[in-house]
Amino acid sequence: MKPYRHKLILSGRKAELYQYEAPVYGGQRKKARKQGKRRTREEIMAEVQKNEKSAFQVEVMRIFSLRRTRSRIVRLIDSNPDLKTFITLTFKENIKELSLANKIFKKFIKRLKRKIPKLKYLAVPEFQKRGAVHYHLLINNEIANDKLAKIWQQGFVMINKVKHINNLGMYISKYVGKNLFDIRYFGMRKILASKNLEKPIVITVLREIRKFIAEAIGDIPPLFETFYRSDWLGIIHYRLYG
């Protein structure tokens, strides 16, 4: 991929425009590294937290990881406006291991697909204060609470009303909290989504971006606009249209 200074992301009816002070380089192949002994997540976290500098780096990583994850959630939901049923799934048993909870969740999705063959979903696992895992889930079909509970088979289910919510993506993304960099998430997916979701369109060719702006945006002012600094890319100009 050639370096670029402009990026356009289209998610449903929303358009995000980035302008970078320094060029962005991508698509370069990294040199293969020798395979070593795989460290445990406890060993890695102990290493990065052993001094103040590492602790600061962990905090920076956590902030950027949270931003990326929330942005991905918002864009996926904006790209799939048929995701209108918001569900919360909890376990009757106090399941605290995310890997075990995800295996149970995948079996639930298989059963749900038998009822909804063209199922689309996006799920976010979260830890309750007591340490138990629960899921926040968006699907593209309406379903009765009692029928959903029979399919879930694990405990309490709640179907939330979200028709009155204007920005559903932002509403759902708030469930990805500051504990995203929690050691319990290490090596695990923070977003579980079906493969048939529509993906945001990313354009980095300046000619195509200018054409889109001329034809679709014109003189329309952005809904939101800001400037911020990156240590790697300098000043970044961000605009959101919708």
Q: What is the pLDDT of residues 146-193, one digit of tens each?
A: 999 999 988 899 998 776 666 777 777 776 655 555 666 666 677 889
* 90 shares a domain with 163: yes
Residue 111 scores a pLDDT above 90: yes
- The dihedral built from the CA positions of residue 166, 167, 169 and 174, taken in this order, carries a sign that is negative
Q: Does residue 33 fall inside a structural domain?
A: no
Q: Does residue 87 fall inside a structural domain?
A: yes
* 116 shares a domain with 73: no
* 169 shares a domain with 88: yes
- What's the whole-model pTM score? 0.78
Domain span including residue 19: 4-23+42-78+199-241
Instruction: Quote the longest CA-to-CA distance of the chain.
Output: 57
* 181 shares a domain with 213: no
Cβ–Cβ under 8 Å, residues 135 and 190: no
The CATH number covering residue 146 comes to 3.30.70.1910
Higher pLDDT, 173 or 10: 10
3-class secondary structure per residue, 103-131: HHHHHHHHHHHHHCCCCCEEEEEEECCCC
57 membership: H or E segment, kind and range: helix 52-79
Single out the residue in 176, 193, 210 at which a domain terminates.
193
Closest CA to 4 of 207, 231, 230: 207
- Tell me which of 26-30, 42-46, 149-153, 232-236 is least confident: 26-30
What angle separates helix 145-152 from helix 98-115, to the nearest 10 degrees? 130
* 66 shares a domain with 11: yes
What distance in Å separates the CA atoms of residue 83 and residue 78, rounded to the nearest whole number?
Answer: 9
Q: Does residue 218 fall inside a structural domain?
A: yes
Number of domains the chain contains:
2
- The pLDDT of residue 179 is 58
